[in-house]
Amino acid sequence: MLALITLLGTILFINVIWSEGTEVLVANGSLAVLPCVVSSSVQTPLAVQWVRANIAQRPDLGSPNSMAPSTVWRMDASGMEFRGMGVGQRSGCPHTQFGKGEFSLQIEEVKNEDAGTYICTVMTKAVTIQKQITLRVIQVSFSSYQPLEGSNVKIACNIFPSPFRATVTWKFNGSPFTPKSPYQMWTGAKKEINLTRVSQKYMGNWTCIVQYKGQEGKATQSLTVMGITSPASDLTVVYTELGSSVLLPCVYSTSLTPENPSWTRVSDTVGRLKPLPPSFHISPVSSKTPWNRSAWIERVEKGDEGIYKCLGSVERKRMERQLWVVTAQVLKTSGTENGGSMLTCHVSNTTGITKYEWVEVTDDTNNIQKMTPFHWEKTLKIEEMTVNSRYLCRYFGEKGILGNATYHVSFMSALKQTQQSGPLSAGMIAFLVMLLLMLLLVVIQLYKNHRRRKMILPYPALETIVHSFYNAQECSERNRADTKGQNDQNAL
């Protein structure tokens, strides 16, 4: 108390240098630094004091209501420090900077109610310096922090205390966001954006930037939109190859349990409903991940392309996503005028496809060779197909590769191909020579048998004699061998 009286006394009787009007704009929850820098000649102050003027403006009315000032932080001549209640408990004035004439106040985790006018007093023997700083706290708030997709959300930029004619701009996920004028307005102390029927694309960081009297401050808050997170937008295209399996994602926000989830198929021409393909499977309802309602087609057949719809409801709000399944296939048209064949990359819907690339994949070596370095067309002319190779067509969109489809060269088609044009490969020659040799051996054997029969046939009795003679001889030989074996065993 004594210190305060002396302080007030000095203010009354000694030269006071007063400066006002410094603005500090900070986000709710962050660190605020209220500057108080005096000439560096003020090296040993008698006392330093920070008080809060408590001229708080009620944001809704904008009228000041004065109260007695309260001390936030104080240091007297003896070096004793004192912290006030409330904001004082989170405040400090680092001594390390005193030598440079800096007596700035740091407030940690600023709250909306910390906003207001602060006065820094630095007392020396000769002079008392006072500075006034206005702390404005910025906060972004949503009418609902986890709205369901399809509902309306209000985003507000609150500034405490409300400045007169500040400039407020918005950023969404780091990029400038300019709401159309009817969706943005000042209501009392805050600037609002009305988002109608929010979708997943509004999920992310909303930043409000406030510019006022040459100062700038900003605050960010992240919005989570509850609903179907994957696919995030409707009419998502899924590319797949005929004969392969494809996953049709339908994943809700974690923690959501959709009611009456189902899958249907929409006809893309008339409004007629098409049946789901025979190998269409829906993820089994699991209590662990009830939010995953994805489906898959085990083997995509011709005719499976088109629109599939994943449906469900959350809190009686209907949610759905349409997935456009596009199939790809490589078709072969053989026999062009000068031999060879033509491969065509057939994609069921070419909207959004910008180019095609052909590669040859050799299975033994896993070697990938580009076939089209210069032209990017959907057809490929091949003079001669190699066995153990696959011809693969990759199709691209604006943002990169979308998918691929493969043509497998079968042995027969390769054989046919080589007969039409070009010499035989070494492997095939070897195979054919072997085949011929085997055939020759069979023919020789048949001829031999035939000749033997022809020689013996006129004397059928002789054949029997010859046979029995051989049999008898064989028999006696076997007996001899047996007794020899027994003798050997006895000898042992």
Ligand X SMILES: *[C@@H]1O[C@H](CO)[C@@H](O)[C@H](O)[C@H]1NC(C)=O
Q: Using CB under 6 A as the criterion, which residues of the chain lie in contact with ligand X when the complex forms?
A: 28-29, 111-113, 139, 154, 173, 182-183, 185, 194, 204-205, 222, 237, 247, 251, 268, 283, 289, 292, 294, 324, 349, 351-352, 392, 394, 403-404
In the complex, the smallest distance separating the C-beta of residue 140 from ligand X, rounded to whole angstroms, is 8
Q: Rounded to the nearest whole angstrom, what is the least distance from the CB of residue 88 to ligand X in the complex? A: 16
CB of 401 to ligand X, least distance (A): 7
Q: Which residue has its beta carbon closest to ligand X?
A: 29
Residue closer to ligand X, measured from CB, 404 or 425: 404
Residues near 183 by Cβ (< 8 Å), separated by ≥ 6?
193, 194, 195, 196
Name the DSSP class of 29: T
Number of residues assigned to the chain: 492
Based on CB atoms, which residue is closest to ligand X, 258 or 403? Answer: 403
How many whole angstroms separate alpha carbon 36 and alpha carbon 50? 10
Pair 140, 155: CB distance under 8 Å: yes
Is 34:132 a contact under the CB 8 Å cutoff?
no
HSE toward the beta carbon, residue 272, CA cutoff 13 A: 4
Q: Which is nearer to ligand X, 112 or 334 (CB)?
A: 112
Task: Write the Ramachandran bin of 207: left for phi over 0, alpha for psi from -120 to 50, otherwise beta.
Answer: beta
Strand partners, 121: 49, 130
Peptide bond into 231 cis (omega under 30): yes
Q: How far is the CB of 62 from ligand X (least distance, A)?
A: 19
Residue 79 φ/ψ region, left for φ over 0, alpha for ψ in the -120 to 50 degree band, beta for the rest: left
Q: Is the Cβ of residue 28 or residue 341 nearer to ligand X in the bound state?
A: 28
DSSP 152-183: -EEEEEEEESPPSS-EEEEEETTEEE---GGG
Pick between residue 170 and residue 324 the one whose CB is nearest to ligand X: 324
Question: What CA–CA distance (Å, rounded) separates 103 from 94?
Answer: 8
Q: What's the DSSP call for residue 200?
A: G
Of 75 and 325, the one with the shorter C-beta distance to ligand X is 325
For ligand X, the closer of residues 204 and 290 by Cβ is 204
Among the listed residues 1, 17, 2, 5, the one whose alpha carbon sits nearest the alpha carbon of residue 123 = 17
Taking the complex as a whole, how short is the minimal distance between the CB of residue 371 and ligand X, in angstroms? 12
User: Shortest gap between Cβ of 336 and ligand X (angstroms)?
Assistant: 26
Least Å distance between CB 112 and ligand X? 3
Identity of the residue, 222 or 388, whose beta carbon is nearer to ligand X in the bound complex = 222
Q: Which is nearer to ligand X, 20 or 109 (CB)?
A: 109
* Residue 46 beta carbon to ligand X: minimum distance, rounded to whole angstroms: 35
Instruction: Yes or no: say if 30 and 110 are a contact pair by the CB < 8 Å rule.
Output: yes
CB of 95 to ligand X, least distance (A): 29
Question: Nearest distance from residue 432's CB to ligand X, in Å?
Answer: 33
* Nearest to ligand X of 124, 221 (CB atom): 221
Omega prior to 161 cis, within 30 of 0:
yes
CA Rg, the chain, in Å?
45
Burial 267-291 (b: 16+ CB within 10 A, else e): eeeeeeeeebbeebebbeeeeeebb
Alpha-carbon span 60 to 462, nearest angstrom: 132
